[in-house]
Chains A and B, each alone.
Chain A
Amino acid sequence: MKSENSTPKVNNEHLRYRPKPNIGHLLVLLLIIVFCVFPFYWMIATSLKNQQDILSPTPKFLFSPTLENYQRAVSKFDVALSLENSLIVAVTTTLLSLLLGTPAAYAIARFEFKGKKDLWFWFITNRMLSPIVLALPFFILARNLKLLDSQVVLILIYLTFNVPIVIWICADQFRNIPKELDEAATLEGYNSFSIFWRIGLPLVAPGIAVSAIFSFIFSWNELLYALVLTRKYAQTAPVVATSFMSGYELPWGQIMATGTMIALPVIIFSIIVSRQLVGGLTMGAIK
């Protein structure tokens, strides 16, 4: 990010092999934006249409918007409760993942010990576990521990795919901090924990932000575990989104209204923190 402002002059000079670089660049960027935003825009537009406009074979770009779909969706399912559940689960599991993941990432980046590479890979492997096969064991365990239909069980399970992400992203960031800093701090009498806490963590803020974004997104969006392990009181937002898929009725407007309500919070959150995304998303592996 730092580089952008200081270099345009130099670069332009050396990109002269393209006659009109700017126009093409502009158009392609616009195209990318349209490609990314259009499906999302179409979802919002559909959520504001009545059924007849939605089913019209010629898509209606101009229509009189209605909030009816939102009203009906909210009255039919407890969307508010599910959003609250999703929020609690996503925030808690994100915080816990950071709490557990950053020290581990620090150790992997900074310390030398036997089996470090394997440990790193084992952490990553947790992300590869397929929920389809773990759902039943989790269900039975949760049942025995009386944790069914609770936010706690989701928070615990979501750690299995969030802690690896935190470790992966943050380990790479820690590795980029010059070792000299640690050594200087050791001379000043810091122990390894305060080095991590006072020196390491502040320097990897972008990595923490990015891993927080991803943990949040992944937890907010998770469907299969939530479908199996929740019932009524702990239902998360994606579960409600699929409630409409009864195969019996397909109220597109209401589905898209719910989809919008579910996706919007996490998108707004991501957009707010998107500045951090670039600095922190350098994902390396253990060499």
Chain B
Amino acid sequence: MPTAKKSYSTGAFWFVAPAMIVLLVVGIIPLLFALWTSFQQFILPKVHFKGAFAGIWPIFDAPFVWLSNYRDLLFDESFRDALGRSFLFLIINLPIQVILGLIIALLLHRPGHEWLKNVTRIALVIPMATTFAVVGLIGRLLFNGDFGINNYFWNLFFGHKMEWLADPNLAFVSISIMDCWQWTPFCALVLFSSLTMVPIEIEEAAKLETDRWWHILRKVQLPFLLPGITAILILRTADILKMFDVVFIMTRGGPGAATELISIYIQRIGFRSFEQGMASAQAIVLLIITIILSRLYIRFIYREV
């Protein structure tokens, strides 16, 4: 074994190198440029392109301001509000998606109705595969105050219509519903896959001992589910913190700032106000937050295994 290990590690380099080099070139160079601009007062219409160093690294005449962008964002109330909104979105939607996903996974795992379960599995793929921009468009169609079908049913059951996209709270609810529509199926499929990993003998043995499904879930299935749940948490956290398409198309962050999630806010600063330096600083802070959260998920959820 030890000899084998040694030869393995030299081989490892050649396996990993291609992916590493490509990601370094494509991912790191632009990120470094973003980091560089985050120390500058980089307002796009006010800076001028001065050619490229070594044909690649672009040079602009933006004033260097050290950490002042980072200092400013600490005191920027709108940034904090938007970040808070994103976390609220995360805290509300992530548990809903994981729990609903788990329920669906358990239903799929449960014997019976094989044909219908196959259909369900296919149906689950649809929301996941729908283009995000199109999800936003569907959202605007469904939640339209006048002719939206959601309002039609709401009116049928409760006798009045709601201003889904014009009311600050309901707009937040609306984008949440669309996010759950799209991503609950993903959670369901990941967790269902994890359930199939449970060795059949162990599950059956457990079922002979107890007839409570939640005991089986906790004692037998949970350890197999945790990696999947961690993966979901990491992926969904990263995706929600950079979520843009659906919200932008459905509400543009409005009404007021009710649905201005952090990425919408950064986009506004970077693409609409053109304060690219400030936007870079904000995005880098956001990246650091995402990394810290992911680390925490890995550490705390895995520890329970």
Contacts and interface: CB of A to CB of B under 8 A. Distances in A.
Query: A–B direct touch, CB within 8 Å, in complex?
Result: yes
B55 interface: yes
A256 interface: yes
Contacts of B20: 104, 119
**Residue among A110, A123, A274 with max Cβ neighbours from chain B (10 Å):** A274
Contacts of A141: 29-30, 33, 56, 58
Interface string B272-288: 00001001101110110
Contacts of A131: 242, 244
DSSP majority for the B interface? helix
A10 B110 CA distance: 11
B266 interface: yes
Given A12-B111, A14-B208, A36-B124, A104 B131 contact: no
Interface in B10-35: 11-12, 14-16, 18-20, 22-23, 26-27, 29-31, 33-34
A42 to B, nearest CB: 6
A242 B302 contact: no
A79 interface: no
B194 A103 contact: no
Given A58-B152, A140-B58, A172-B227, A128 B294 contact: yes
Interface stretch (B75-83, B91-99, B112-120): B112-120
A20 to B, nearest CB: 12
A46 B138 CA distance: 10
Given A242-B133, A245-B249, A263-B131, A42 B138 contact: yes
Interface in B29-50: 29-31, 33-34, 37, 44, 49
Nearest to B130: A263
A178 interface: no
A47 to B, nearest CB: 10
Contacts of B114: 4
Contacts, number: 328
B244 A8 contact: no
Given A33-B123, A54-B147, A144-B56, A128 B291 contact: yes
Nearest to B21: A100
Contacts of B133: 221, 223, 238, 241-242
A11 B110 CA distance: 8
Contact of B238 (A3, A128, A221, A279): A128
Interface string A1-34: 1111011101110111100011001101110110
A267 interface: yes
Contact of A100 (B18, B208, B302): B18
Given A123-B23, A133-B270, A283-B231, A267 B110 contact: no
Nearest to B185: A36
Contact of A6 (B9, B29, B200, B235): B200
Contact of A278 (B181, B193, B249): B193
A55 B146 contact: yes
B90 interface: no
B28 to A, nearest CB: 9
A22 B78 CA distance: 52
A28 B107 contact: yes
A3 B197 CA distance: 10
A279 B116 CA distance: 19
Given A113-B9, A221-B133, 16 more contacts: A3-B196, A10-B207, A15-B211, A26-B116, A39-B181, A40-B126, A42-B149, A111-B8, A127-B235, A130-B283, A134-B31, A134-B34, A137-B34, A145-B56, A266-B129, A271-B122
11 contacts: A4-B111, A40-B126, A110-B8, A134-B31, A140-B49, A160-B27, A163-B19, A269-B129, A274-B121, A278-B192, A283-B232
